[in-house]
Amino acid sequence: METILDVQNIHTFIGQYHILQGVNVRVPQGSITALLGRNGAGKTTTLKSIIGLTPPREGKVIYEGKEVQGARSFDIAAKGIGFVPEHRAIFRDLTVEENLKIAERVKGDYLRKRDFIFDLFPDLKRLMTLSGTALSGGQQQMLAIARALVPENHLLLIDEPSEGLAPVIIEHMMKAIQLLAKDSTIVLVEQNFLVASQLAEYYVIIEEGRSVQAGNMKDLVNDKAAIHRYLGAA
């Protein structure tokens, strides 16, 4: 299978802190790959390093066959990467509709994708004129994902979509992500192992800034020792 994203041994510094100390992530086209690991392991930083918000100081990020590390974030994103950050980062001073429109990369993106987005998240439809602040946590998460769907993206980086959401909404979110995976590749950071194991085909475990184990999710589910050791779950 073809590799859409290949992260090779990246080292990332935040200030003087050496946060990532060798992370490798290989993402096959058309799959969902989960980044797993404890709190503070470096999962978010890995996503941010891919999109260039915390550019890696060493190593390579190869996206669709081209090295993109060191380029500016907007340049990397414009190549077709959608970023759904940890705390949703909905723009408060913008309406829900504007939160979607701002993500247009080509004029008309929003109109082209509107129906698709409403099919996926029917709730958003009646919220369009509200300000970003008026949304509940679940609605904000939907909006954050929807925002990444407005432009033509081939790769979605989604950081903890289930964080702080009620079980019903998590299920809804999972269905949406599964649907999205049909057309695009997804890198998913997920603390909830149950959610991650149901969604993802592949996984990479990050531990103290290093990728320590990777493979098929099916194998990990049976590898109780690894789960216990790296994720602390049963």
Ligand X SMILES: Nc1ncnc2c1ncn2[C@@H]1O[C@H](COP(=O)(O)OP(=O)(O)OP(=O)(O)O)[C@@H](O)[C@H]1O
Task: Specify the stretch interacting with other proteins by CB under 8 A; choose among 34-42, 97-105, 159-167, 217-225.
Answer: 97-105
Distance CA 199, CA 197 (A): 6
The Cα–Cα gap between 203 and 219 comes to 10
- Residue 44 binds Mg ion, judged by CB under 5 A: yes
Short-list 190, 152, 200, 217, CA closest to 41: 190
The bridge status of strand 32-36 relative to strand 202-207 is parallel
CB 158 within 8 A of CB 126: no
Convert residues 51-80 into a mask of x (bound to other proteins by CB under 8 A) and - (unbound). xxx-x----------x-x-xxxxxxxxxx-
DSSP code string of 10-55? EEEEETTEEEEEEEEEEEETT-EEEEE--TTSSHHHHHHHHHTSS-
Q: Under the criterion CB under 8 A, does residue 152 sit at the interface with other proteins?
A: no
Per CB under 5 A, contacts with Mg ion among 132-161 are: none
Q: Give the Cα separation of 42 and 54 in Å (integer).
A: 12
Binding flag, residue 46, Mg ion (CB under 5 A)? no
Helices (H), 87-210: 96-101, 109-120, 137-149, 167-180, 193-199
Q: How far is the CB of 159 from Mg ion (least distance, A)?
A: 6
SS (H, E, C) 57-107: CEEEEEECCEECCCCCHHHHHHCCEEEECCCCCCCCCCEHHHHHHCCCCCC
103 makes contact, choosing from ligand X, Mg ion, other proteins, none, with CB < 5 to 8 Å by partner type, with: other proteins
Query: Rule CB under 6 A: which residues touch ligand X?
Result: 14-15, 17, 19, 37, 39-45, 86, 191
Q: How far is the CB of 219 from other proteins (least distance, A)?
A: 33
Q: Which is nearer to other proteins, 34 or 77 (CB)?
A: 77
- Judged by beta carbon distances under 5 to 8 A according to partner kind, the member of Mg ion, other proteins, ligand X, none in contact with residue 130 is none
Which of 61, 103, 143, 181 contacts other proteins by CB under 8 A?
A: 103
Q: What is the DSSP letter of 131?
A: B
- Identify what 98 binds: ligand X, other proteins, Mg ion, none; CB under 5 to 8 Å per kind: other proteins
Q: Please list every residue from 84 through 103 that binds Mg ion, using CB under 5 A.
A: 86
Judged by CB under 8 A, the number of residues near other proteins is: 31
| Site residues for Mg ion per CB under 5 A | 44, 86
Contact residues: other proteins, CB under 8 A: 51-53, 55, 66, 68, 70-79, 83, 85, 89, 91-94, 98, 101-105, 147, 151
